[in-house]
Structure 1
Amino acid sequence: MNGDLVIIPGGMTSQLQVLDVVVNKPFKYHLRKRYTEWLLAGNHALTPSGKIQKPAVRRLCEWILQAWADISSESIVNGFKKCCISNAMDGSEDDVLWEEAEPGDAQPEKVSDESDDSESGPSDAEDAAQ
């Protein structure tokens, strides 16, 4: 494997880990948005104990496809540039580091920095598997 092991200091994830910045947060945001819309739509089947049944696997798969489609290739390319991973060696792209994020780049609207693992919903692997 050709690569260097690098330790990312605490608090630097938003600047150095491209997939967290450009893919994971927006993907989870769009997936959670669809789940919330589904919950708010109401008229759900209930379990014998009276809880709302989890969304069908087919519906979850549709949400996943839609959430992935909401992340543009251009946004991913710009994210790598913003994190200095694919900037041109001649310095012609260095200005990207200091540009403000466009509305569709890297982070859609406001996305919480808190850990997503403790929240319920379709991002929970257990729920998605059932």
Structure 2
Amino acid sequence: MVASTTVDTRGARSVPLKTTGHEKSHLTVVLAAKADGTKLKPYVVFKGSVREVKAMQNISGVVVASSKNGWMNEDLTADWLRKVVGKLNFGPRLLAWDSYRCHISAATKAELKRGYNVTMAVIPGGCTKYIQAPDVMWNQPFKASLHEPYDNWMAGDSDKEYTTGGNMRAPARRLLVAWVLKAWDQLDAALVKISFKVCGLTVAADGSEDHLIHCFKEGEPCASGRELLSQARQGELVEIGEGEEEEGDDEEEFNNKLVVEDDDDEDI
């Protein structure tokens, strides 16, 4: 989380940047939300340190896990589904996520069949920057909110540990979890809600909100997509109309047959 900017005297030949030396260390944060703006628990994955992670299970509002490399895997994806998405929902749900291998694996598909009442929608590779809500609207402000407490921590003297050689240690993992919780809480729920419309996930089916879809706006790469979507909708309406007409013809034929049969009965 090293900042991309710093402050120093104008014209300085070199600008030293104070760090802990752990710039390549990372953690995974899985964020998810509902279309009404409700934010689900963040799921934080650290590299190794199983014992330390178990000690953080009592932190409310977050799920902390670990893996060998600090990334999500099939087991953690199943754990995320159980602890974050959950099965306590009476209506059907649509889960829209990217084509990361853990999302589309056979194990994950099998897990989703175990009572979640969820239909999975996979965003094709290369399209997340256009139609995945976190990529389009959440990630930038969330990461910016993470930078702020890190910068304050680096500038201050509290919550720091040092090696025997006097080198500063990386922030404690419990502290990182606290920063993640705060950053997620600060993300505006209204922004989360509108992000689903911006990505075309919850726009009105009649096309009245198509102008909200970001990638369809003037100057964007998919600006022509709005007209194609409108044409596709019209095609569906025509097919529905034809289907209703055929159904109406079948019903009329059935009624006529009943009339004929009734007339025959009267003749008898």
By percentage of residues, which structure has more strand? 2
Change (3 A) 1:5 1:95: closer
Consecutive unaligned residues of structure 1, counting only runs of 5 or more, are 100-130
Distance 1:48 1:17, change over 3 A: same
Structure 2 partner of 1:117:
none
Asked if the contact 1:30–1:67 (Cα under 8 Å) also holds between the matched residues in 2, the reply is yes
Percent identity between the two aligned chains? 32
- After superposition, residues 79-118 of structure 1 pair within 5 angstroms as 79-97=195-213, 98=217
The structure whose Rg is larger is 2
- In structure 1, the residue matched to 2:136 is 21
The number of equivalent residue pairs is 97
- Taking structure 1 as reference, are residues 21 and 42 closer, same or farther at Cα in structure 2, changes over 3 Å only? farther
The CA deviation string for residues 21-70 of structure 1, in whole angstroms up to 9 with x for no partner, is 23333222211221122112246442113221232344323212210111
Could you say what the CA RMSD is over the residues aligned between the two structures, in angstroms?
Answer: 2.5
Q: Is the 8 A contact 1:82 1:96 kept in 2?
A: yes
2:184 to 51, 55, 68: 68
- Residues in 2 aligned to 1:31 and 1:81: alpha-carbon distance in whole angstroms: 26
Partner in structure 1 of residue 168 of structure 2: 52
Which consecutive unaligned segments of at least 5 residues does structure 2 have?
A: 1-117, 219-268
TM-score by length of 1: 0.60
> Whose RCO is larger (CA < 8 A, sep 6+)?
1
Is contact 1:8-1:16 (8 Å) kept? Answer: no
CA, structure 1 residues 72+89, in 2 after alignment: closer, same or farther (shift >3 Å)? same
Displacement of 1:6 after TM fit? 4.2
